[in-house]
Homo-oligomer: A and B are copies of this chain.
Amino acid sequence: METNPGWVTAVRIAPPSLKDNTADADRLINELKIRLDADCIDVDLPLLRRLPRLIRDSGYVVRCLCFNDQGRFRLVGVKTADERPAFFGMAVDLGTTRVVLRLINLETLDAIYETAFDNPQIAIGPDILARIHFASTDEGLQTLQRLIVEGLNEHIHRMCEQSGIQTTDIHLLAVSGNTSMAHLFLALPPHHIIREPYIPAVNVLGTVPAKEIGIHGSDSARVYIFPNVGSYFGGDLISGILYSGMHRKAEISILVDVGTNAEVVLGNQDWLVACAGAAGPALEGGVSKIGTTAGPGVIDRVVIDPEDRRILLHTIDELPPKGICGSGMIDMMAQLFLSGMVDIRGRLAPENCGDRLREEDGIRRIALASADESATGQALSISQVDIDSLIRSKAAMYTILSTITRYVGVTFDDLFRFYVAGTFGSFINPRSAITIGMIPDLPETTYQILGNSSLGGAALILTQRAALEEVAGIRDRITYLELNVNQEFMNRFSAAKFLPHTNPSLFPSVRIPKYSKRNIYCSYS
């Protein structure tokens, strides 16, 4: 009769008798109410229909999956004492560009399998704005929903097959996505999300029956969707906060999730302040001509030998290079700066670039790989335009960070932890980000890379009963700070466009380089 920290509870119920003719469902629920200290436990019809046979087959000892649905428990699945397989759940990071699934055994709490796929809605529009415009008709909205649901079902089937379970063994899904993606997933009209005053259809979504949205699972499977705070602060970030644990700490921490927007949360166990701003797609690899999201053959780390300015590129899976991701760009930028190949304004310094320097249509570039060396058959290079874009992004990020801390009245030194979230964040080298002045000059131990915190938070919902209660607390505690792009903000932004900053004393650990001329040599291994 143990109870795991998740949602599965084993219960023994007294068999019915002439003296106690309480109905099957009520008998089970009464016992669960005691075990879970719950006032009320809901049960859907499909499960009710199976109960009488199930509890008798089990000899009145059953395992129950009871999920908490907006402050109220719901019986989502019942199995006999030793029925196999276990209850399974699926954590879903519903990204605008990439969707990540993690299959979880809800009894052992083990992650079984993880997979990712490109959001099929990209076919309609790569960015969320295009999709919301497409969703302005009912048909458009339904098309977008169908695309994501079919994509999810396809991968749910594949994952189940490869894990030796049935899709009907999936009883619970936890979905973390930004506000727009949550709307498109549920076919909720997203129209007003992008129009002043930027109003979602709903903030607190709770759970919906999986079959109501066409997701394959058991016939009583439920889908939990993280609540959002508003149009620009979605459930993915609440999931990230949950995963970081910053909301449980006495000390002040900051969480940064960089995608198309930089989303920033500052706070502790008592308060949370959040803001978001356009950090620029440079960080997602979206601006540079060779920029791309992380994947095999993508340059993710760059070292430039300070002695001979040889450029050493590292690619994911160590394949011939085909592009560069955001963290690769930051590394590259830091190394170009430290080697004197760009100056403090971020301009390529021809005197230090050697034969790597190219100029096309009046724009300077640094060659990274020849057409022979690259995986694409085309030469790879980074242009001054790419660099300028990155500099604007890093300056925006630093300005957002300094604005939110000033707003609250704390300094960077007050930060106990600096969490870096998001797929982008998984690869970032904090040292490089500090070097270019994108993030504050804190001890490297302050920085903690969370990886996919949105997925991590969704997995917590499935495995830790306590996590779900924390979500409401997080949501209610968040103060959303609307970034005012006023003169003061612009002044700070301008100051941050230098490497690392117009005020180098803010970055004492960064050694401002002296320029010298050396040969530059490119290699990847």
Chain A residues with CB under 8 Å of chain B are 16-18, 21-26, 39-40, 42-45, 48-49, 51-53, 70-72, 186-189, 191-192, 196-204, 206, 208, 212-213, 228, 230-231, 480, 482
Majority-rule SS of A interface residues: loop
For the complex, give the distance between the alpha carbons of A199 and B70 in Å. Answer: 31
B48 touches A18 (CB 8 A): no
A-B residue pairs, 7 tightest by C-beta: A25-B202, A23-B200, A23-B203, A26-B203, A16-B199, A18-B197, A21-B230
Contact of A196 among B18, B188, B189, B202 (CB under 8 A): B18
10 contacts between A and B (CB under 8 A): A16-B199, A21-B199, A22-B199, A22-B203, A23-B228, A25-B203, A40-B72, A45-B188, A51-B201, A52-B192
B204 touches A49 (CB 8 A): no
In the complex, which residues of chain B have a beta carbon less than 8 angstroms from the beta carbon of A53?
189
Q: A40-B72, A49-B188 are in contact. List 10 more A-B contacts (CB 8 A).
A: A16-B197, A17-B197, A21-B197, A21-B231, A22-B199, A23-B199, A25-B203, A43-B202, A53-B189, A72-B72
Contact of A204 among B26, B70, B71, B72 (CB under 8 A): B26
A24 touches B70 (CB 8 A): no
For the complex, give the distance between the alpha carbons of A457 and B206 in Å. Answer: 33
A192 to B, closest residue via Cβ: B52
Scoring A48, A191, A199, A201 by chain B CB atoms within 10 A of each residue's CB, the highest score goes to A199
For the complex, give the distance between the alpha carbons of A199 and B24 in Å. Answer: 7
For the complex, give the distance between the alpha carbons of A43 and B212 in Å. Answer: 13
B21 touches A212 (CB 8 A): no
For the complex, give the distance between the alpha carbons of A188 and B189 in Å. Answer: 36
In the complex, which residues of chain B have a beta carbon less than 8 angstroms from the beta carbon of A213?
45
B45 touches A191 (CB 8 A): no
A206 touches B16 (CB 8 A): no
Q: Given A39-B71, A40-B71, A42-B206: A52 and B201 within 8 A (CB)?
A: yes
A17 to B, closest residue via Cβ: B197
In the complex, which residues of chain B have a beta carbon less than 8 angstroms from the beta carbon of A191?
52
In the complex, which residues of chain B have a beta carbon less than 8 angstroms from the beta carbon of A192?
24, 52
In the complex, which residues of chain B have a beta carbon less than 8 angstroms from the beta carbon of A17?
197
Q: Given A23-B202, A24-B192, A204-B26: A212 and B45 within 8 A (CB)?
A: yes
A70 to B, closest residue via Cβ: B40
Q: Given A24-B192, A71-B39, A206-B42: A49 and B201 within 8 A (CB)?
A: yes
For the complex, give the distance between the alpha carbons of A178 and B21 in Å. Answer: 16
In the complex, which residues of chain B have a beta carbon less than 8 angstroms from the beta carbon of A212?
44-45
B49 touches A70 (CB 8 A): no
For the complex, give the distance between the alpha carbons of A39 and B72 in Å. Answer: 11
Q: Given A189-B53, A203-B26: A198 and B482 within 8 A (CB)?
A: no
Scoring A52, A70, A72 by chain B CB atoms within 10 A of each residue's CB, the highest score goes to A52
Scoring A25, A42, A196, A202 by chain B CB atoms within 10 A of each residue's CB, the highest score goes to A202
For the complex, give the distance between the alpha carbons of A21 and B198 in Å. Answer: 7
For the complex, give the distance between the alpha carbons of A43 and B70 in Å. Answer: 12
Q: Given A71-B40, A192-B52: A26 and B202 within 8 A (CB)?
A: yes
Contact of A24 among B21, B42, B51, B200 (CB under 8 A): B200
For the complex, give the distance between the alpha carbons of A26 and B200 in Å. Answer: 9
Contact of A201 among B25, B39, B71, B208 (CB under 8 A): B25
Contact of A45 among B43, B186, B480 (CB under 8 A): B186
For the complex, give the distance between the alpha carbons of A45 and B202 in Å. Answer: 10
A201 touches B18 (CB 8 A): no
Q: Given A16-B199, A23-B203: A48 and B482 within 8 A (CB)?
A: no
